[in-house]
Amino acid sequence: MYSDFNFKSDPKKINLLAEKFPHVDPQSLSTLALFIQTAHEVYNGVCSRLSEYGLSIGSLKILIPLYLHERALTPSELAEYSGVTRSTVTSVIDKLERDGIIRRSTLVDRRMTAIYLTEEGRQLMTERIPMFIQLFSDLLKEFTKEDHVHFAGMLQKLSTGLERIKRE
């Protein structure tokens, strides 16, 4: 069960693993377990708050570029801005369209689909999204400017490590 992998509250489990696998650095494993658990809690907390408005992180990845660019975007552009696949964008667009937050249209040459925010979508972005942005910002309220720089550098190192193990 997933909860059995929660080393955050029980360093004894880390030490047991280190005994069984002496080549594993217990501090690295402990730090990674804490990161995974915290990231999971942050993700779930953010998702829970967004769901109160029928939104998801995926929907924000579509809505924010539409709001920021203040023009229609194609599904391909939204996929590129969002860093997700075109099929993922399509399923999110379908839901947002059903909810009346966006609408599809065609561009001038009629070969490409254009995605627009509806009036309800614009209202959502101007009234509700600032609360979410503030919520995200408040997660790191205790950080100093130096903490932000240090944390970003550490996350970049983690990302580099992840890319390395993907190649191996």
Read off the pLDDT band of 1 (50, 70, 90): very low
In the three-class reduction of DSSP (H, G, I as helix; E, B as strand; rest coil), residue 26 is classed as helix
Query: Do 95 and 59 touch, CB atoms closer than 8 A?
Result: yes
Query: Do 51 and 112 touch, CB atoms closer than 8 A?
Result: no
**DSSP secondary structure of 104-143:** EEE-TTSSSEEEEE-HHHHHHHHHTHHHHHHHHHHTTTT-
Q: Which residue in 26, 30, 61 sits closest to 46, CA to CA?
A: 61
Q: Which residue in 16, 26, 95 sits closest to 59, CA to CA?
A: 95
Residue 136: pLDDT over 90: no
Q: For the chain, which residues make up each domain, given as ranges? A: 24-53, 59-127
pLDDT per position as a tens digit, 63-121:
999 999 988 999 999 999 988 888 889 999 999 999 999 999 886 666 778 999 999 99
Which numeric CATH code is attached to 59-127? Answer: 1.10.10.10
pLDDT per position as a tens digit, 26-70:
888 888 888 888 899 989 988 998 888 888 889 999 999 999 998
Environment class of residue 119 by beta-carbon count within 10 Å: exposed (0-12), middle (13-18) or buried (19+)? exposed
